[in-house]
Amino acid sequence: MTQAASPTPNTVTHTATNTMADIETSHASASAVTDTTVTLCSSEAEKQNAQIRSQFPALHQMLDGYPLCYLDTAATSQKPQMVLDAMAQFYANDNANVHRAAHQLSARSTLSYEKVRDQLQQFLKAERREEIIFSHGTTESINLVAFGLTAHVSAGDIILIDAAAHHANIVPWQELAKRTGAVIKPIPLDQTCRLDVSAYKTLLELKPKIVALCHVSNALGTVNPVAQLVQLAKKQGAITLVDGAQAVAHLTLDVTEIGCDFYVFSGHKMYGPTGIGVLYGRFDLLDTLAPLLTGGEMIKRVSFEATEFGSLPNRLEAGTPPIAEVIGLGAAITFLQTELTPQVQAYEAELVNYLQSQLRALGEVHLYGAFDDNIGVVAFNLADEHHQDVGILLDQQGVAVRCGHHCAMPLMQSLNLKGCCRASIGIYTNKDDIDRFVAALVSVKDLLL
């Protein structure tokens, strides 16, 4: 397969707004895309990106003779060296179980572990450190809440779920509904693939018990106005949960400003390790959750007659925790607090706009829910070609994208799709990545169409 030459303009253009329907088909000429000019190649931006990129060893490899072009960060991010070093340091020098032990290794391990809880309190701007619960990921965090709220929910209660939600923010609520007789109602999207706020307000008149939202769509990159949506839900007395898995690596978060009862995310989406997640919960409500897991670590007193559970946060963290992963997460937080400056956030936004404009100009490309304020993700298909075929051919040129339903089958069904391709960026992505991807897609188009 011949790789086409990469375009190398110093400035790019993109549309300021997207007024198309939920499926947008690009046109062969870029001349229609002229409203706003974005500069991606300033020496300062390139220097800052190169400094960030140098910290990610996985990016400096060749795949079948091509340098890796990693555009699958929404599935999992690559890890900076400081995260790898923090975990190696723990295993090499401080490896011991946390809490209760009298020896120095355990004391050091416990100090490092609990320090990350303090970091997260500050990172999320939570009021209390006890509001931070460690889990194994976003999925477990949502399951902790859905199971823990069982006693709060009765037959006939309504649970509203964002129609663009990840399966992790759908299935646990369905299981809660099975246990309690509650009723699931999806919050529909409008014709542009944004959450339909008017329909949402109408559904809120039913006074739902729980409202489950996503901050940023993992499949489309569309951003929900979560503070506004949560405020509307709270006026109706609803318990609110926000899935922040796709927001946490890109946005500066303030859970008190959002106002939600629960906010959840995973470490591996924010340059940390796999196997670690976070549940933030407003203390008064978090303290009422029944524990999903029971056993060691979460108890105060045990006898064969009865068990008394401990207090937060331990009560919701049964068993030996993922200590090294928590420490790695702490390093990832430090990395983000150092590197995710407003300038870097603006650069990421420009990259998404550039990617959208280049795909529009390519011709025969369908974009889904593409807006200027999307975060991290562009969803597309090449004409009527199967998304998996496109992904495999891109991989043969060193380009990594995600293909499939993206754990969002209801969303794909609403778009009348079996799946699509998804290119997603991270803090290390640069304009060369986008140009290489577009050039590779041109060669795929030439082969298939």
pLDDT tens, residue by residue, 360-370:
999 999 999 99
**pLDDT score of 251:** 98
Query: pLDDT tens for residues 132-165?
Result: 999 999 999 999 999 999 999 999 999 999 999 9
193 is catalytic: no
Looking at the DSSP assignment, which residues form a beta bridge with residue 185?
Answer: 160
Q: What is the pLDDT of residue 4?
A: 34
pLDDT at site 101 = 81
Catalytic residue among 214, 407, 420, 421: 407
What is the CATH T-level fold of the domain 11-70+341-448, as seen in this structure? Answer: Aspartate Aminotransferase, domain 1 (3.90.1150)
CB 144 within 8 A of CB 292: yes
Residue whose pair of structure tokens reads 């809440």 in the numeric block: 145
Mean pLDDT throughout 226-249? 98
pLDDT at 13: 27
Any long-range contacts for 197-202 (C-beta under 8 Å, 24+ apart)?
197/225, 197/228, 197/229, 200/160, 200/229, 200/232, 201/232
Q: Which of 348, 355, 345 is nearest to 12 (CA)?
A: 355
Assess contact for 247 and 166: CB atoms under 8 A. Answer: no
Nearest to 218 by CA among 256, 244, 179: 244
Please name the helix (run of DSSP H) or strand (run of DSSP E) that holds residue 329, with its range, or none. Answer: helix 323-339
Where does the pLDDT of residue 39 fall: very low under 50, low under 70, confident under 90, or very high at 90 and above? low
pLDDT for residue 100:
82
Helices (H) and strands (E) in the chain, counts: 14, 20
Average pLDDT of the chain to the nearest whole number: 91
- What pLDDT band is residue 45 in, cutting at 50, 70 and 90? confident
Sketch the domain layout of the chain as residue ranges. Answer: 11-70+341-448, 82-338
Across the range 234-252, mean pLDDT stands at 98
Is pLDDT above 70 for 353?
yes
In the predicted structure, residue 168 carries a pLDDT above the cut 90: yes
| Residue 184 backbone dihedrals phi, psi, to 5 degrees | -90, 130
CATH code that applies to domain 82-338: 3.40.640.10
Average pLDDT over residues 277-281: 98
Chain-centre distance for alpha carbon 125: 19
- Confidence label for 110 from pLDDT (cuts 50, 70 and 90): very high
Of the pLDDT bands very low, low, confident and very high (cuts 50, 70, 90), residue 17 is: very low
Q: Give yes or no for residue 227 having a pLDDT over 90.
A: yes
Q: Is the pLDDT of residue 197 over 70?
A: yes
List pLDDT tens digits, range 55-79: 999 999 999 999 999 999 999 999 9
Q: Could you tell me what percentage of the chain is helix, strand and coil, using 3-state DSSP and rounding each to the nearest 5?
A: 40, 20, 40
Query: What's the rounded Cα separation, in Å, for the pair 384 and 120?
Result: 45
Instruction: Provide mean pLDDT across the span 24-45.
Output: 49
**From residue 116, how far is each of 60, 69, 170 by CA, in Å?**
29, 32, 29
Query: pLDDT digits over 202-225, tens only?
Result: 999 999 999 999 999 999 999 999
Name the nearest CA neighbour of 58 among 79, 39, 37, 40: 79
Cα angle vertex 118, ends 292, 87, to 5°? 80
Residues with Cβ within 8 Å of residue 65, at least 6 apart in sequence: 398
- Average of per-residue pLDDT across 253-268: 98
- List all residues 6 or more positions away from 193 whose beta carbon is below 8 Å from its beta carbon: 22, 164, 220, 222, 368, 369, 415
Express as a percent the part of the chain with pLDDT over 90.
Answer: 89
